[in-house]
A and B are shown apart, each in its own frame.
Chain A
Amino acid sequence: MRRSMLFIPGNTPNLLMNGDVLGADAIILDLEDAVSPAEKDSARILVRNALKHLNYKGCEIIIRINPVDTDYWQLDLNEVVPLKPNLIMPPKVSCAEDVKIVSNYIAELEEKYGMEKNTVKLIPLIETALGVENAYQIASADERVAAIFLGGEDLTADLRCKRTKEGNEIFYSRSRMVVAARAAGVDVYDTPFTDVDDIDGLYADAAFAKSLGFTGKASISPRHVEGINEVFSPTQAEIDYAHEVMETIRIAKEQGKGVVSLRGKMIDAPIVERARQVIEMEKAMFGEVEDDE
């Protein structure tokens, strides 16, 4: 289960030390934008030591490396891949070739360090107009890709438009990302909501992203994590309904009925699939639950 992904600057010890107590399902240890060029070496070593010595419990570890057009990205991977982070986030990915370059280098490191192939997954950060147009090719470029992630700030700079709270300027990009990811069978994450103090705005933005089909949302502030987790979790009513659907299906099978309805609505394959997804989320959130099938 990965609803929230929290960015943590890679050169800030007090935040790195406490990354796993902030409630996020995944933390993104950032070696890119949060680190000045003069401190890239320092952050790389610090993040490597944090991965080696700290026991991050209950959250996935994602490392945002530097872009492939810099001198830093291979140095970043050299330090962190041997420590088996869950995912690597290459930024400014604009085409499938960008993914292959990073994946091939990770494969070299996995072989060098005796790691199982594809131990380390990828979540490409798409934040250019070209990247959005190539979203499906990026999402399906390599079996290492587990998800794609939309970066709204750089994208709007590239689109030459203003980034707004309403987000109308990225509506097309958001929709395209969701369609591309679902077509490729991977997860998809929404851009952070950047007004740290506007919690109502965060809830609205997250709810809109969920309504489009996003799996979850990134955050630049620990204050947004709780809201994101809440929005991207099924409600108790949704969980109860999912169990009702599965129970209805079970009874129908026992009775040899082909078509069944619940609360006056026919239960068809998409409804059953959605119910399964809700129950999967419930299991991820609360552990094993009683199986209705």
Chain B
Amino acid sequence: MKITSTAVAGTLESSDVYVKVEPCDALEISIESVVYNQFAEEIEASVKNVLNEMGVESGKISINDKGAIDCVIQARVETAIKRAGGNK
């Protein structure tokens, strides 16, 4: 799937994550998290897992995590990508 527009998903509530995806020639992932020091690598791996499954090779992915668990992060990334690909 190709990211053709800017889209967001999730919230800044506790246990949730706010995801913004934008078109970009390269793949750029930025992560802010209340648990960055402990879980940054796991969050990035979780994001990349969704990107791989959805065949996304490029795009700017911004993650603002408020302590979401893995399945929530994956859900929000999937939603944002589907929205950015015009697929609701």
Contact = CB atoms under 8 A, between A and B. Distances in A.
Contact of A42 (B10, B68, B74): B10
Given A13-B16, A14-B13, A14-B15, A41 B83 contact: yes
B15 A42 contact: no
B72 interface: yes
Contact of A52 (B9, B71, B79): B71
A252 interface: no
A14 B12 CA distance: 12
Interface string B44-88: 000000000000000000000000111110111011001100001
Nearest to A52: B71
A272 interface: no
Contacts of A50: 71
A235 interface: no
A14 B14 contact: yes
A53 B88 contact: no
Q: Name the interface size band of chain B.
A: 10 to 19
B15 A49 contact: no
Contacts of A41: 79, 82-83, 88
Contacts of A53: 69-71
Interface string B1-39: 000000001100111100000000000000000000000
Nearest to A40: B88
Contacts of B72: 13, 17, 46, 49
Interface string A46-63: 101110111000000000
A96 to B, nearest CB: 32
B8 to A, nearest CB: 10
Nearest to A46: B75
B34 to A, nearest CB: 13
Contacts of B83: 41
A241 B78 CA distance: 56
B71 A54 contact: yes
A45 interface: yes
Contacts of B10: 42
A221 B68 CA distance: 23
Contacts of B15: 13-14, 17
B68 to A, nearest CB: 6
Closest 3 pairs (CB-CB, A-B): A14-B15, A53-B71, A49-B71
29 contacts: A12-B13, A13-B13, A13-B15, A13-B16, A13-B68, A14-B13, A14-B14, A14-B15, A14-B16, A17-B69, A41-B82, A41-B83, A41-B88, A42-B9, A42-B75, A42-B79, A45-B75, A45-B78, A45-B79, A46-B72, A46-B79, A49-B71, A49-B72, A49-B74, A49-B75, A50-B71, A53-B69, A53-B71, A54-B71
